[in-house]
Amino acid sequence: MNLTSNYRSRDLVQRTAERLHKLASKIDGRLTFMEVCGTHTMAIAQFGIKELLPKTIRLVSGPGCPVCVTPNEYIDHAIGLAGLQNSIIVTFGDMMRVPGSSSSLERERSKGRDIRVVYSPLDILDIATKNPSKEVIFLSVGFETTTPTVAAIIKQVVKEGLDNISFLTANKLVPPALEALLNGKTKLDGFLLPGHVSTIIGGKAYLPIINKYKIPSSIAGFEPVDIMGAILELTKQAISGEAYLSIEYSRAVTMDGNTKAQRIMEEVFEPIDAKWRGIGTIEKSGLKIRDEYTNLDAALKFSVQVEETKEDKGCICGEILQGLKDPPECPLFGKRCTPKDPVGACMVSQEGTCAAWYKYRRVEHDR
Alpha carbons 189 and 352: distance in angstroms, whole number = 22
Alpha carbons 255 and 232: distance in angstroms, whole number = 21
What superfamily does domain 67-173+257-301 belong to in CATH? HypD, alpha/beta domain 2 (3.40.50.11740)
Q: What is 135-197 written as a DSSP string?
A: EEEEEEEE-TTTHHHHHHHHHHHHHHT-TTEEEEEEEB-HHHHHHHHHTSS---SEEEE-HHH
Largest CA distance in the chain: 68
Predicted local distance difference test score (pLDDT) of residue 1:
47
Per-residue pLDDT of the chain (367 residues; tens, 9 = 90+): 455 668 778 889 999 999 999 998 899 899 999 999 999 999 999 999 999 999 999 999 999 999 999 999 999 999 999 999 999 999 999 999 998 998 999 999 999 999 999 999 999 999 999 999 999 999 999 999 999 999 999 999 999 999 999 999 999 999 999 999 999 899 999 999 999 999 999 999 999 999 999 999 999 999 999 999 999 999 999 999 999 999 999 999 999 999 999 999 999 999 999 999 888 999 999 999 999 999 999 999 999 888 777 878 889 999 999 999 999 999 999 999 999 889 999 999 888 999 999 999 754 444 3
Domain ranges of the chain: 67-173+257-301
Alpha carbons 314 and 292: distance in angstroms, whole number = 42
Predicted local distance difference test score (pLDDT) of residue 367:
35
C-alpha Rg value of the chain to the nearest Å:
21
| Phi (first) and psi of residue 363, to 5 degrees | -60, -45
